[in-house]
Amino acid sequence: MASLGGNILPPDIDLKVFLSGVAGVALFAVGLLQLSSDGNDNKPGLAKSLLLFFYSCFLKPHSVGAKGTQQDALESFYSSQAAIYDATRETLLKGRKDMLALVAAQLQYKAGKSMSLTKSKRIWVDVGGGTGWNIEAMSEFADVPRFFSSIYLVDFSPSLCQVARKRFDRLGWTNVKVICEDARKFRLEDYECDLSRDPIPARSPLPYFGQKRPEHGGVSLVTMSYALSMIPDYYSVIDSLASLLSPNGVMGVVDFYVQSAADFNFRNYTGGLAGRHVNFFGRAFWRAWFDLDRVSLEPSRRDYLEYRFGTILTANSRNNTLGFIPYYIWLGCGKAPFSSSSLPNETIERIDALATESPYLAPVSKQSATNALARAVEKSAPEIRSKAFDAAVQNLSANLPLPSFFYQNHHWRIYYDDRLRKHTQFNNEYIYAFTWEDSRVDERLLQLGPDDVVLAITSAGDNILSYVSQGPARIHAIDLNPTQNHLLELKIASFTALPYEDFWKMFGEGKHPEFRSLLISKLSPHLSSRAFQYWLSSTEIFTSSRGRGLYDTGGSKHAIRIFRWISHAFGCRTAVRELLSAKTLNEQREIWQSKIRPALLSRIVNSLVVSSEAFLWTALGVPKNQLAMIEADHANSEAVKGPNPTAKNTRAHAVWHYMVNTLDPVVEGTHIATDNPYYHVCLEGGYSRRCHPEYLSATAHARLSQPGAFDGLRIHTDELDEVIARITPGTLTVAVVMDSMDWFDPGSPAAAQQITKLNRALRMEGRVLLRSAARTPWYIREFETYGFVGKRVGHRVPGRCIDRVNMYASCWICVKRQNLPPPTPEMDHFGGGEVEGGFSLSEE
């Protein structure tokens, strides 16, 4: 696409001819592979179009015309190829439809949420729109003549504009106006009379140089498709777009780029860095290549765009058809996150209050966030602030856009710095694709009510969804692994945007062939930029015909695959299918005892696989300290200490006995085919309509898909200690820490520090729910030392399940009965620096 064109000075002719010859051979070969016919009488055939394209781009001398203007330069380049422009760009200009689908989804979400957003306010300006391809392509995602009241295609090439006019005459779209004009000079008020601002009295006109463009306009959508890289004076064009975009408007850009990580590594406002770095050879080659075609790939174009606007979503990709050309898709909005009902500082203060449980839920108006921080510093007892607030103040003080989390449609996800080692250590992979805690038991033990404020570890998010369905005032979901929170975000977005059948395919069956389309057109308005990037790069999880779906991914897939391998090796795959079809417990028990148990719990499998420390961590998430607790309990068991011991005091035997005491009672006491989804998903790779977690029921979907169902949820990507330390004291009522306390070194101060922080954050009578691989974990005494009373509410005995998972030896609730004195600087995050030892369920 074109807007202002490229460099009007011709490059060195000898170098141009040489390189264009190489380029021509390569691209022409690709074109011939896609050649099917020569078209019709009205338009050049594909073969002729490709030849004309190569001649115009690489061989034809381009003059600047008699006047030497930029428009002359554009015409020299486009006049000979205007008629074949669309036919020759389909393969080269990737990502255009994705960008259009994304902006359409954003606009449709805003239109559905705000009933005041009438058709008369829905205006689209396509800058550098060229032949109008974008506008016609938008019809796949919106009813263009009805959804937009006015559309302005602004381009500086008369030849391309002429093609566009013919296109819209053919389509009969009277709401589209083609404006052949320098994009810097385009004024919406020149064409939309009802949008004029402050009419100027006829007798006292402002002088020409006294006219000032407004800070924002009335345009709902601005798009640029492969135009920014062709604009010499791109700073002024980007600046002019800010005066077009309305406060609630959306901007979409797709274009080529090359960039080094050194350029953007220290920016927190880019919306995520996944796939953005291009190596040295790629940067050098593609910049030289596109210089031949007057396309400039210097990083400053994208950098200034991101500086001038706020980032909603961004994605970096490669054109795999033509040599992995890097391109990006970017969605943005006004730099200040404001609307007609709130000011920038109000948005920041509100997000901060919801992340910290601050009692100051009504922010002070008409004062900046910087001043708000200054007021807090002046107080003798400073307010607790979230990391999101700290980042916002830092950016505003430097005149930078806010982190992209502030520009999302929902404020579920709290700001985090994805560059830190504590987040990157997980290598962009979650460990758990499903949660291993029995939500039915949690619901019975906790009995959450509308006044509860819950803090819980995210894991795969299943239990978080169970807690949300019970209707507490707030839930803080915490995980150090960003991808675990990406998975929870995906589930929340799917509840919000998808009908039940699509939701079931994704999370019941674990596969959906249309996932990529749903992600872009339905789910994207409800995801943070980083979560969107992750799932856009991981669509094969749900769509691959060769893959086994969601539940064969993540670290836990290793356990499932090893079981599958064992069942194949021992010839019991048929028995597994029989087990899942068993109609009664007796039938299930018989299949287990006679066909599956001899293989799965054989001593050789245990010695070679299950008792391996690497397997226990990688596949099951069992850290060394938890493994030591299992060994200690086994050493003190009757099987070892009795007069006729039946087991040896070794790790292999300890793990084997632990597995026996886990699996045998599950098979003996729960019907896997109908009422144990935790083992059903491991055996089958998915759930069934008869057997699934509560959140996958149609009833749960009807409840959680209601507007506002997740307004009380906050997702923190951080250590447990860090989040607890930033929550206002005495505001939590429940903390669910799963088995994370098992990860501490016995006797280390880390456990005492975390328990002290929990005491500080919880109200009196607040509860901590935890599970342990030990029957009586050592840290219960630590809880009792620091103001809690511990009670074991479940324990596992041979032959009996503690719950449907039966993976833990005990379950405890510790109730706060005493307030501790104020923390010393060594114990307080804000007085003595960060305290090491905080954990997430997925932490290494």
What the block records as the tokens of 245 is 């975009």
The pLDDT value recorded for residue 32 is 42
CA separation for the pair 759, 817 (Å, rounded): 9
Distances (CA, A) of 805 to 51, 440, 562, 662, 801: 66, 11, 19, 8, 8
- The mean pLDDT value for 353-374 works out to 57
Residue 837 has pLDDT above 50, yes or no: no
Q: Count other C-beta atoms under 10 Å from residue 821's C-beta.
A: 5
The residues near 223 (Cβ < 8 Å, ≥ 6 apart) are 99, 100, 103, 124, 125, 126, 127, 129, 134, 251, 252, 253
Nearest residue to 468 (alpha-carbon basis) of 483, 482, 448, 494: 448
Same domain, 74 and 123: no
- More confident: 457 or 344: 457
The pLDDT value recorded for residue 573 is 86
Q: Is residue 708 left, alpha or beta, with left meaning phi > 0 and alpha meaning psi from -120 to 50?
A: left
The pLDDT value recorded for residue 354 is 81
- Residue 31, Cα to own-chain centre: how many angstroms? 36
Task: Give the torsion sign (CA, 344, 345, 348, 353).
Answer: negative
Distances (CA, A) of 701 to 312, 500, 693: 27, 7, 12
Same domain, 371 and 328: no
Residue pair 241/335 in contact by the 8 Å Cβ criterion: no
Residues in the chain: 844
Same domain, 321 and 366: no
Q: Alpha-carbon dihedral of residues 302, 307, 309, 312, nearest 10 degrees?
A: 70
Residue pair 567/576 in contact by the 8 Å Cβ criterion: yes
Nearest residue to 106 (alpha-carbon basis) of 669, 658, 597, 523: 523
Q: Is 444 exposed, middle or buried (0-12, 13-18, 19+ CB in 10 A)?
A: exposed
CA separation for the pair 339, 341 (Å, rounded): 5
- Alpha helices of 335-477 — where are they, by DSSP H? 344-356, 369-378, 387-397, 421-424, 439-446, 462-469
Task: Give the torsion sign (CA, 668, 669, 675, 677).
Answer: negative
CA gyration radius for the chain? 31
Beta strands in 739-775 (DSSP E): 762-772
Residue pair 792/774 in contact by the 8 Å Cβ criterion: no
Pairing status of strand 325-333 against strand 219-225: unpaired
For tokens 């098992």, the residue is 742
Same domain, 136 and 226: yes
The pLDDT value recorded for residue 656 is 79
| Amino acid (1-letter code) at residue 475 | I
What the block records as the tokens of 337 is 């996150």
The pLDDT value recorded for residue 63 is 57
The pLDDT value recorded for residue 660 is 86
- The mean pLDDT value for 114-125 works out to 67
CA separation for the pair 646, 633 (Å, rounded): 15
Residue 34 has pLDDT above 70, yes or no: no
- State the pTM of this model: 0.85
In percent, how much of the chain has pLDDT > 90? 58
Same domain, 98 and 241: yes
Where among 40, 57, 82 does a domain terminate? 82
Where among 57, 82, 107 does a domain terminate? 82
Same domain, 166 and 277: yes
Domain-located, residue 378: yes
Per residue in 772-829, pLDDT (tens digit) is 999 999 999 999 999 999 999 999 888 889 999 999 999 999 999 999 987 665 544 4
Number of domains in the chain: 4
Residue pair 455/476 in contact by the 8 Å Cβ criterion: yes
Same domain, 676 and 608: yes
Domain-located, residue 499: no
Residue pair 729/612 in contact by the 8 Å Cβ criterion: no
Residue 461 has pLDDT above 60, yes or no: yes
For tokens 């106006």, the residue is 177
Nearest residue to 389 (alpha-carbon basis) of 410, 418, 368, 408: 368
CA separation for the pair 555, 840 (Å, rounded): 15
Same domain, 222 and 311: yes
Q: Count other C-beta atoms under 10 Å from residue 22's C-beta.
A: 11
For tokens 């579920």, the residue is 412
Same domain, 75 and 116: no
Per residue in 245-276, pLDDT (tens digit) is 998 899 999 999 999 998 888 899 999 999 99
| Side-by-side strand order, sheet with 176-180 | 176-180, 150-155, 123-127, 219-225, 245-256, 325-333, 310-319
CA separation for the pair 91, 223 (Å, rounded): 20
Residue pair 312/530 in contact by the 8 Å Cβ criterion: no
Residue pair 217/195 in contact by the 8 Å Cβ criterion: yes
Domain-located, residue 809: no
What the block records as the tokens of 507 is 């999370």
Domain-located, residue 168: yes
CA angle 120, 125, 126 (to 5 degrees): 145
Query: What is the Cβ-side half-sphere exposure of residue 443, based on CA atoms within 13 angstroms?
Result: 16
Residue 404 has pLDDT above 90, yes or no: yes
Residue pair 816/765 in contact by the 8 Å Cβ criterion: yes
CA separation for the pair 153, 73 (Å, rounded): 20
| Amino acid (1-letter code) at residue 167 | R
- DSSP, residue by residue, 472-506: -SEEEEE-SSHHHHHHHHHHHHHHHHS-HHHHHII
Per residue in 721-750, pLDDT (tens digit) is 999 999 999 999 999 999 999 999 998 899
The pLDDT value recorded for residue 6 is 37
- More confident: 843 or 221: 221
Q: Which range has the worst mean pLDDT, 329-338, 463-472, 658-667?
A: 329-338
Mean pLDDT, the chain, as a whole number? Answer: 82
Per residue in 295-334, pLDDT (tens digit) is 899 999 999 999 999 999 999 999 988 778 999 999 999 9
Domain-located, residue 206: no
Per residue in 174-232, pLDDT (tens digit) is 999 999 998 888 999 889 876 544 444 444 454 545 556 666 778 999 999 999 998 88
The pLDDT value recorded for residue 602 is 74
Same domain, 128 and 169: yes
Packing angle between helix 344-356 and helix 387-397, nearest 10 degrees?
Answer: 160
Same domain, 217 and 188: yes
Residue pair 293/59 in contact by the 8 Å Cβ criterion: no
Residue 369 has pLDDT above 50, yes or no: no
The pLDDT value recorded for residue 294 is 79
Q: Count other C-beta atoms under 10 Å from residue 208's C-beta.
A: 6
The pLDDT value recorded for residue 421 is 94
Binned at pLDDT 50, 70 and 90, residue 754 comes out as very high
For residue 679, give its domain range: 552-627+648-684
What b-and-e string marks burial along 316-339, b requiring 16 or more CB atoms within 10 Å of the CB? bbebeeeeebbbbbbbbbbbbbbe
**What percentage of the chain's residues is helix, strand, coil (to nearest 5)?**
50, 15, 40
Same domain, 299 and 382: no
Give 794's strand partners. 811
Domain-located, residue 784: no
The pLDDT value recorded for residue 207 is 52
Distances (CA, A) of 759 to 456, 585, 728, 768: 15, 44, 12, 10
The pLDDT value recorded for residue 51 is 55
The pLDDT value recorded for residue 73 is 54
Query: What is the Cβ-side half-sphere exposure of residue 121, based on CA atoms within 13 angstroms?
Result: 17
Domain-located, residue 716: no
Helix, strand or coil for residue 814?
A: strand
Nearest residue to 92 (alpha-carbon basis) of 306, 364, 326, 263: 326
Q: Which range has the worst mean pLDDT, 3-7, 687-691, 732-736, 834-838?
A: 834-838
- What CATH number corresponds to the domain at position 153? 3.40.50.150
Domain-located, residue 263: yes
Where among 22, 52, 82 does a domain terminate? 82
Nearest residue to 50 (alpha-carbon basis) of 22, 19, 89, 2: 89
